Amino acid sequence: MKRSRKAPPVLATAPLPASALPAPAAGAGAGVAAWRLRWSPDASRTGLSAFETVEDDRAGSHPSAAPHIKVSGGGFRFDVHTADRDRAADRQRHEVTGMREGGSYLRWRLGETWRVTYSMYVPGTLRATTTFTHIMQTKQPGRGTSPITVTSLRRVGGRQTIEHKIFAENVLVGRTDLEPLQDRWVDVEYEIKIANGAAGWVRWVLRSGGTTVVDATKTGVDTFLADRVRPKWGIYRSLGDTSGSLRNTYMLLRDMRGYQLVGETAPALRRRL
């Protein structure tokens, strides 16, 4: 039997934007649901303990460059070098997983809806590749499990793009050109309804300089494997790129927040869709 963990304290409650309210069930009042802030790490205070786990050069391939994941400028920095190798020598991985608050980590469960927001800085040296370069994932914890969703930097028809996909079904949620978003801070919003079969949905939003670049939603998708779901951030890339795009590079994240949708009605379908 699994031990239950005490839920971390509620820090704040934010109203759910009207565009994202779940549709009320018959006889239920509208506007019942709200996003509750569950995770709001202060990088300078909590450091990497803001995350459930830290996967920094798991194979010990490049100790002279350690740490590859660190606190920097009030946020988090992920460095990757062409010399780095993961346990599988055909790829590189420096990632953090999950969200830790108040000494315990948050568990995203079947039937729940979660939202994460953060600002991301992708330099010009972190380039899209012909094989995978993932910078955010959702996964079931445990070795050998496939991603559920991925944000990737991918070459498409020779163009550098940033995209979000449902991994197993290879369903594209949204995609846009990468280069206009490099060397500047970009705001990210990500929402996921955790459900089996066709009951799940995902929303992915990118904003740059106050302009919405992508606001894409995909419904009718499977967003659950088993146990629970957790987010991952960092640089996870294949060495099989054929475009010559692999460089020593980095990525920055700051202003990270995690929200849970409370007061959901059933079925939790969004009125905007």
Query: Is residue 90 included in any domain, yes or no?
Result: yes
Q: Which of the pair, 156 or 30, is modelled with greater confidence?
A: 156
pLDDT greater than 50 at residue 272: no
pLDDT tier, 58 (very low <50, low <70, confident <90, very high otherwise): very high
**pLDDT confidence bin for 26, thresholds 50/70/90:** very low
30-39, 83-92, 211-220, 225-234: segment of lowest average pLDDT = 30-39
pLDDT at 32: 81
Give pLDDT, residue 18: 37
Three-class SS of residue 18? helix
Give me the pLDDT at residue 31, please.
55
Torsion angles phi and psi, residue 49, rounded to 5? -70, 0
pLDDT of 9 over the 50 cut: no
Res. 84: pLDDT tops 80: yes
Average pLDDT rounded to a whole number, residues 18-26: 37
- Taking residues 220-228, report their average pLDDT: 97
* Structural domain includes residue 6: no
Q: Is residue 48 part of a domain?
A: no
Q: Exposed, middle or buried by CB within 10 Å (0-12, 13-18, 19+), for 64? A: exposed
The predicted structure's pLDDT at residue 265: 65
Is 40 within the bounds of a domain? no
Residue 60 — very low, low, confident or very high, per pLDDT cuts 50/70/90?
Answer: very high
Rounded distance, CA 133 to CA 179, Å?
15
Q: Which domain holds residue 72?
A: 55-105+112-262
Q: If you average pLDDT over residues 94-111, what whole number do you get?
A: 95
135 assigned to some structural domain: yes
User: Is the pLDDT at 123 greater than 50, yes or no?
Assistant: yes
Number of domains in the chain: 1
Q: 98 or 15: which carries more pLDDT confidence?
A: 98
User: What three-state secondary structure class fits 221?
Assistant: strand
Q: Quote the pLDDT of residue 143.
A: 85
What mean pLDDT is reported for the chain? 88
Q: For residue 193, tell me if it sits in a domain.
A: yes
| Confidence tier at 30 by pLDDT (50, 70, 90) | very low
Asked if residue 35 belongs to a domain, the reply is no
> Mean pLDDT over residues 45-72, rounded?
97
Structural domain contains residue 191:
yes
For residue 144, what pLDDT is reported?
Answer: 80
CATH number at residue 134: 2.60.120.200
Which pLDDT does position 116 carry in this prediction? Answer: 98
Binned at pLDDT 50, 70 and 90, residue 24 comes out as very low
Residue 103 pLDDT: 84
pLDDT of residue 25: 31
Q: Residues 163-190: what's their mean pLDDT?
A: 97
128 pLDDT higher than 60: yes
- Give strand ranges (E) for the chain: 12-15, 34-39, 53-56, 69-72, 75-80, 91-97, 100-101, 104-105, 113-121, 133-139, 147-156, 159-166, 171-177, 185-193, 200-208, 211-221, 230-238, 249-262
